[in-house]
A and B are shown apart, each in its own frame.
Chain A
Amino acid sequence: MNYNYYRNSSNLFNPEEGYNLGNMFADLYKGYKNYKPAKLTGRTPEEKSFLELSRIGFAMHEMNLYLDLHPEDRTIQQLFNDYRKMFLELEEKYEQNYGPITITSDTLEKSPFAWVKDEWPWEGGRNV
C-alpha cells in the first residue's frame, strides 16, 4: 500500500473548483500549456441550481472512485456521505421545479409523461 498517496490526497479542491478543472484531487491535477479551464456560471435560477447539482454530483463521483481503492478511508467516506445527501436533495428540488433527470423521479407520476417533454442535453437543455 502506498501511504504517501493518502498523505497527498488530503489536498482536495472544493466542488466548484474541482468541477471546473475536472479533478477534485489537487495532487493529481496537471494543466495543459497555458490553457485555463472554463469558469462555469449559471445565469438563470434553473441554470444555477443545475450547475450546483453537477458540481456536487462530480465531487461525489470523485470520492466514489477514490473509495473503490480505499474503502477503509473514513475521512473520504464522510465527504462522500455529505455529497451524496446534498446531491439527492439538489436533484429532487431541481426535478420538482424543472422536470425529471432520472426515470425514478416523483415528477413522472403525472400525465402527460414529463420524460418526453424537456429538451435533450445535446439540444441545449440543462447544459450550463
Chain B
Amino acid sequence: MFSYQKRLQYPVNIKKKDLRLAKYLVTQYGGANGELAAALRYLNQRFTMPDNKGKALLTDIGTEELAHIEMLETMIYQLMKDATLEEIKEAGLDTHYAEHAKALFPTDASGVPFTTTYFATTGDPLADLSEDMAAEQKARAVYENLIDLTDDPDVIGPLLWLRQREIVHYARFKELFEYYEKKQNDNSNKPGNDIMFANSMENNQLPNNMKNNQAFSNQQPFDAEYLNNIFKNIDLNRNYIRGLEQKNSIFI
C-alpha cells in the first residue's frame, strides 16, 4: 500500500503566473514521457520482474514518480491560479477551461488527454527495462526543452532537479538491465538450462552472507585506494550528521 507524506520531495514556489508555460509543463504530467506514465509503467511492470532486486527498484522508483507527479501538479497549479479569463483565452487555454476551468487534468502540451498507450508491459524484464531506460532519457530531454522555454528561476530550479532524477533513474535501470542480461547469457551457455533465472537471487543471496559477517567477502575486489575513498566519504557524511545533532539551534 502507499501512504502520503504532507510535503513535496523538492520545493515548488512559483510567484509569477505564466499560462503559456503551464501549457507546456503539463506534458511532463500527462504526456507521453510524463511522470504519470512513468509511475504507472514501473508500478505495473514490477509484478513480473524476475527477482527481488527488480521488484524493489521498480517499486521504489515508481513510488518516487508519484512524488514527481505532485511536483508537476503544483507547478501547473501555481502558474495558473491567478489568471484572468482574458489571459486564459490569450494563452490558448480556453479549450482546457471549457472542460476543466482551472482544475488539473493530465494532458500533453497540445491538450491530448493522458492515455495508457504511453507505456507497455511485456512480461519480459529486458524488454520492459529497455523501455524504462528510454523513457528516462526522453523525459530528461523534455525537461531540457522546457528549461529552454523559460527564464523564471522559480520554474528552472524544480525542472533542473527533476531532470537530474531522470539521470539517476536511468543509471539504476541500466545497471539492472545489464545484471539481468548477464544472468541470461550465463544461463543460456549452460546446456539444458533454459530457465532464465533458475538460480535467482532469493535462493542464494543475502542473509547468510550478512549473518556470517562476510559482506566484505571475496565476491568484491577491494583495493587500498578504493577502501580509503569509501571510508573518507563515510566520514564526511557522518560529520554532516553529527553537525546536525549538535546544532540543536535549528529547533525552537
Contact = CB atoms under 8 A, between A and B. Distances in A.
Interface of A: 1-3, 5-7, 10-12, 14-16, 19, 21-23, 25, 28-30, 32, 35, 37-38, 40, 45, 48-50, 52-54, 56, 58-59, 61-62, 64-66, 68-69, 71-75, 78-79, 82-83, 86, 90, 93, 97, 100-104, 115, 118, 120-122, 124-128
B162 interface: yes
Given A22-B161, A37-B160, A86-B241, A101 B7 contact: yes
A6 B220 contact: yes
B156 A100 contact: no
Given A72-B209, A74-B216, 16 more contacts: A29-B164, A32-B160, A37-B160, A38-B161, A45-B252, A61-B64, A69-B172, A71-B206, A75-B231, A79-B234, A102-B6, A103-B3, A121-B74, A122-B70, A122-B73, A122-B78
A69 B57 contact: yes
A29 B233 CA distance: 16
B245 to A, nearest CB: 8
B205 A126 contact: no
A83 B60 CA distance: 17
Contacts of A102: 3-6
B229 interface: yes
A97 B162 CA distance: 30
Contacts of A82: 237-238, 241
B129 interface: no
Given A61-B64, A75-B230, A101 B240 contact: no
B178 A2 contact: yes
B134 interface: no
Contacts of B233: 10-12
B36 interface: no
A40 B160 CA distance: 13
Given A72-B206, A72-B210, A121 B8 contact: yes
